[in-house]
């Protein structure tokens, strides 16, 4: 009856997105403005880049510490065999809720950073292809292997840049029928199928 809460009656203005999101401020430093240090101008994008880099390193450290902790070993036991983990005395319900809460915490922080960096968030920012890319990064790198997931994310993020040089000759060979976006989806699907067959 209701199509994305927009038609026939717009109830929440959700499809129109959220605008005018404030930039991040750390100890009085506004990352949305240029910073001048010793006569050098540092752009807002560069400031956000270093903030995101620090957050990524912090997330990786937290994940490594969690993986080696008692909770991480319990999560791995639940992943391998939930019934055996329950038989060993692990409270699977609470640990599953904790895993969900940790994932939601990481997602919440990254979503807040994304909104502050963009200044605007709308449903179009989170398409199905974005979700597929995230799943492909995890599957390509190897589930439960942190360096592999980082490598998968780097590879799939760099893929569009590589396709700029490959797409031209392929379009010429196929009379323009093979677009770079289609080629990207084909390569991601092929990579996922190969990984599933081999692993």
Mean pLDDT per block of 10 residues along the chain (199 residues) reads: 61 79 87 83 88 94 92 92 93 95 94 90 83 83 83 83 72 71 77 79
Report d(CA 43, CA 112) in Å as an integer: 20
Same domain, 109 and 131: no
Same domain, 12 and 100: yes
Domain that includes residue 21, residue range: 1-122
Instruction: Give residue 74's pLDDT.
Output: 94
Instruction: Give residue 2's pLDDT.
Output: 47
How many Cβ atoms from other residues are within 10 Å of residue 129's Cβ? 12
Same domain, 38 and 115: yes
Same domain, 109 and 12: yes
Same domain, 90 and 8: yes
Which element (helix H / strand E) includes 188?
helix 180-198
Buried/exposed code over 159-195 (b: 16+ C-beta within 10 A; e: otherwise):
beeebeeebeebeeeeeeeeeeeebbeebbeebeeee
Whether the Cβ atoms of residue 94 and residue 78 lie closer than 8 Å to each other: no
Same domain, 63 and 4: yes
Instruction: Give residue 1's pLDDT.
Output: 43
Same domain, 19 and 50: yes
Number of domains composing the chain:
2
Same domain, 32 and 56: yes
Same domain, 49 and 104: yes
Residue whose tokens read 């995230």: 134
Q: Which of 76, 92, 122 is the last residue of a domain?
A: 122
Q: Which of 69, 100, 122 is the last residue of a domain?
A: 122
Collect all residues with Cβ–Cβ distance below 8 Å to 149 and sequence separation of at least 6: 137, 138, 141, 142
Q: Which of 122, 147, 174 is the last residue of a domain?
A: 122
């Amino acid at each position: 009856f209701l199509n994305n809460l927009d038609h026939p009656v717009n109830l929440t203005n959700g499809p129109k997105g959220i605008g005018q999101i404030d930039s991040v401020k750390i100890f009085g430093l506004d990352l949305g403005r240029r910073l001048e240090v010793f006569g050098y101008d540092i752009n807002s994008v560069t400031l956000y880049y270093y903030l995101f880099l620090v957050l990524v390193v912090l997330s990786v450290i937290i994940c490594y510490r969690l993986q080696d902790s008692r909770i991480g070993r319990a999560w791995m036991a639940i992943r391998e065999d939930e019934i055996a983990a329950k038989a060993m005395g692990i409270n699977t319900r609470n640990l599953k809720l904790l895993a969900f809460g940790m994932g939601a915490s990481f997602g919440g922080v990254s979503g807040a950073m994304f909104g502050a960096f963009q200044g605007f968030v709308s449903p179009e920012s989170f398409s199905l292809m974005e979700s597929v890319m995230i799943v492909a990064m995890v599957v390509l790198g190897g589930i439960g292997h942190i360096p592999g997931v980082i490598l998968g994310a780097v590879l799939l993020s760099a893929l569009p840049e590589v396709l700029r040089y490959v797409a031209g000759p392929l379009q010429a060979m196929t009379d323009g029928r093979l677009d770079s976006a289609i080629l990207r989806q084909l390569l991601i699907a092929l990579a996922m199928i190969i990984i599933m067959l081999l692993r």
